[in-house]
Structure formats: structure tokens, C-alpha cells
Structure 1
Amino acid sequence: MNILIIYAYPNQTGFSARVLKTVRENLSSQHQVKVLDLYQEGFDPLLVFNEQNQRRDLATDEKTKKYRELLQWSEQLIFIFPIWWSSMPAILKGFIDRVFAKGFAYEHKGMMPVGLLKGRQAWIITSHDTPKPYARFFQQDYGRVLKRQVLEMCGIKPVKLTEIAYLRGSTPEKREKYLRKLEKMSQAF
């Protein structure tokens, strides 16, 4: 299976980096795995619309061509990122805005969107500092917007969401337990 890990965290020694390392090391060597580290890549998340850059041209923009090719290559996407201000990091939001474009990731048939990235599945791994019950019942995003309003709309199904909640209140032992769980989940691919 072709697996693309999309990683969005700037600290190469933080807990999210440990999550990336754990997932990467526990995927079977039978898989082709590529890691797209948006910060290391220096991905430019800014959308620019003017006479030379129009929204209708996003699906063929040369600046994002290699990212579209990576998505086309992939059969399994794995997103790893922390939740900040109840949402994904801005660099990942910019990646979605610039790469998951109409005409590439989806189109409209009448009023309804039709996904163009069918045949792929995804796993979203998030971490955050909010207690899980509060995040589940009172916050809007925490990875769910990416799952429902982006990936599933683009035809990517099934999408699994794994939340590592209340990280700041966890002990080192609890963090190791999270990583062991991710080891097993990664080995199941």
C-alpha cells in the first residue's frame, strides 16, 4: 500500500514528533511510505488570488503540482498534527486550501459536491490539551472538520480519527501508553 503521512508540527522533538516516529517505525516494510513534513518542506500556506493566480486555476497550479501527485500516488493518508485554538495548524489549513482544490479533489454536480479522490482512506491523529469530554461536546473541530467536511467530501473513506486528549495533564506513563496504542494501530495496516 502507498502511504502518505502529512505531518504538521514545527518542533522536531515534541510529542507530535514522537507520534510521527512511532507510526512510521511500526508500519510494515511491505508498504511504500512517504512523509510530507509541511514545516520542514517550507510549504507556503498563503492563498493568493489576483490576475495571475485565480481560484479556478488551483487544480493545475504548478506550485502545488508535486503535492497533488503525492495525493494521487497515495492509497492511505495519515495526518498527524496538534489541535491549536480548536483547529488544525494554519500551515495544514493552507495545504488543504491550496491542494484539495475544486477540479482536483472534488467537483460539483448540481448543488452537491462529488469527491474525486475515491479509493483512498485516511487516519487522522490529533493531540490537544483539552479534557476529552469538553472537546467532544463543546468544541467544533478537534479533527472532525478535516474528517467530514474535507476528506469525506473529497471521496476519501473511511476516515478514522484518533484523539490524544488532555496531553498537558498527562503523565509520562500515560504518554507512553498512547504511543504503545499507536504502535499497535500502525502495525495493523
Structure 2
Amino acid sequence: MKILMIYAHPNDKSYNASILETVKENLSPKHELRILDLYKEQFDPVLRFDATHRRRDLANDVAMKHYRDLLVWADQLIFIFPTWWSGMPAILKGFIERVFVADFAYDNTPRGLKGRLAGKAWIITTHNTPRIFLPFAQDYSKVLKFQILKPCGFKAVKVTQITRVEYMTDHERKEQLQKIAKLTQNL
């Protein structure tokens, strides 16, 4: 299987970086892996519209061709990112806005969106929301799953949330990484 990991965290010593390494280390060698680290790539998340940058032309933006090619190449996407202020990091949101565009990722039809992409996705996100507030909190992993990936054609989308990261003990952090390792081994 061809797997593309889309990683969005600016600190290479973060817990998200530990998750990234855990996935890499536990992925079967039978899979082909490519990693897209949006911060290391210095991805420009700014979407521009003007006389030369028209929204209807985004699917042909030469600057985004490499990223579109990666999405088409992959059978499985793995997103790893923190949830900050009830949302994904701006760099990841900008990536979605610039790459998951009409006439590439989906078609607009009279009945709604028709996805052009295919495959599976796994969303791994971390946040500090206390468990008591989870039913009321904005869950950006669900937004990504139901309002972006599924309409773009992804059929199977799994979500793993690691909560209260800032308050976890080292033992709890290791336990969560072990769970991620087991889930990775089952890909």
C-alpha cells in the first residue's frame, strides 16, 4: 500500500513528532511511505485570488501540482496534527484550501459534491480538551472526516484522538504511543 503521511507541527521535539516516529517505526516494510511535513517544506498556506489567481483555476495551479500528485499516488493518507483553538494548524488548513480543490478533489454537482479522490485515511490528532467538555467541543477531526475527506471520495476514515496531552504523565504518553503502534501494525 502507498501511504502518505501529512504532518503539521512546528516543533520536531513535540508529542506529535513522537507520534510521527511511532507510526514510521511500526509501519510494515511492505508499504511504501512518503512523508509530507508541511512546516519543514515551508508550505505557503495563503490562498490568493486576483486577476491572475482565479478560484476556478486552482486545480491547475502549477505550484500545487506536486501535492496533487502525492494525493493521487497514495492509497492511504495519515494526518498527524494538534488541535489548537478548536481547529487544525493554519498551515494544514491552508494546504486543504489550496490542494483539495474543485475539479481535482471533487466536482460540484446539482446534488452536492462528488469526490474524485479515493482511498482510506487515518486522522491522528492531539488536544488538551478535558473529557467533560468533549461532547460540546468543536472536533476538527470530524470536520476533516465528514466535511472534507468523505466528500472528496475517501470511503474509510478512521479517527484517533489523544486528549489532555499537556496533563498526561510520561507513562500515559507511552501507553498512547503503544496504542498508535498497534493500530499502525494493523494497516
Q: TM-score, normalised by structure 2?
A: 0.98
Corresponding residue of 2:68: 68
Runs of 5+ in structure 2 lacking a partner? none
Aligned: 1:85 with 2:111: no
Q: Paired residues, what number?
A: 187
Q: How does 1:29-40 map to 2 (within 5 A)?
A: 29-40=29-40
Runs of 5+ in structure 1 lacking a partner? none
Partners of 1:157 and 1:89 in 2: how far apart? 24
Q: Which AA in structure 2 matches 1:124?
A: I
Corresponding residue of 1:141: 139
1:105-163 residue CA offsets vs partner (Å, 9 max, x unmatched): 00122131100002x1000000001123412x111223110011000010111100000
1:13 Cα deviation after fit: 0.5
Corresponding residue of 2:13: 13
Q: Which AA in structure 2 matches 1:115?
A: G
After superposing on structure 2, the runs of 4+ consecutive aligned residues of structure 1 that deviate more than 4 Å are none
Which residue of 144, 163, 166 maps to 1:168?
A: 166
Q: TM-score, normalised by structure 1?
A: 0.97
Partners of 2:86 and 2:100 in 1: how far apart? 21
Partners of 1:133 and 1:63 in 2: how far apart? 43
1:50 Cα deviation after fit: 0.3
